[in-house]
Amino acid sequence: MEKKNLKIELCGERLDNPVIGASGVFGYGGEYADFYDINMLGTFSMKGTTLKPRYGNAMPRIAECKAGLINSVGLENPGIDKVIEECLPNMKKDFQKKVIANISGFSEEEYPEIASKFNDIPEVGWLELNVSCPNVNHGGMALGTDEDTVSRITYSVKEVSPKPVIVKLTPNVTDITRLALACERAGADALALVNTFMAMRIDLKSRRPVLANGAGGYSGPGIFPMALRMVYQTYEKAGIPIIGIGGITSAGDVIEMMMAGAAAVEVGAANMVDPYACKKIIEELPSVMEEYGIDDINEIVGGAHNG
């Protein structure tokens, strides 16, 4: 089989392939480094970072579904200072590439404050603004459903940080393209979509919601067609790169998402089912490209829009 080109560029940085471990699932890489060399990834997005430490929501905070899972973890993390002082130095033992720092605020002002703390951290190549987490009462999705708010947050981070800014959008809106365009006008370098869909389960015996928080974010293969549609629609209108997220479990899914318009993809819930998920997808990509006559992965981005 002829050698295939998997290398891509994301906001000026070269990646060996378009497969990125998703925030919230990939932690700081250490758990997966016990299974395989995670340097084979394009990169990964670190666990969401907030200004202060967070212990997350009450248990239980995971509910299984037929085609995925619902989580209500609630941005559990040690806070920005400990991330910089301890987590990033430890991460370098397992991962020698630049990572994406996923940041979350509980007010508009917290985003630039957190972002500026990463300015002098060479291990961080990109900032991913999480304005879409459904599992917190303030911040996250509460900020990410309003065009003016996401615009102000994006602009404020661009004002203080030289690093490329990726805005991660919620699908829990009427028209995601309006949010995407607001971010683009404010200077976003790329978009990540989608985050999880609001969902819940009820325990038949207790007659109560399974999750202590009531509802949470639904992820997994069940959301793939909906995420694909939103990437497709956003590509039609936005002029900046898109990272496609939502239910990706195979190399074929990666190709499909990129044909819809994604320049790269993030793989999340699949890693919780199989810790080798990203490794298998990367290894399978060349043969799937061969099957569909693709020599360069970049040539298919947005291909579904051209017939």
Show which residues are catalytic: 133
Cα 191 off chain centre by = 10
Token reading at 110: 């917290």
CA atoms within 13 A on the CB side of 279: 11
Residue with tokens 């202590």: 212
Distance of CA 84 to the CA centre of its chain: 20
Q: Helix (H, G, I), strand (E, B), or coil: what is residue 39? A: helix
Angstrom distance (rounded) from CA 20 to CA 46: 10
Angle between helices 147-160 and 176-185 (to 10 degrees): 30
Q: Quick one: tokens of 249?
A: 């479990």
**Lookup result for tokens 């293969």:** 221
Residue 291: burial class (beta carbons within 10 Å; 0-12, 13-18, 19+): exposed
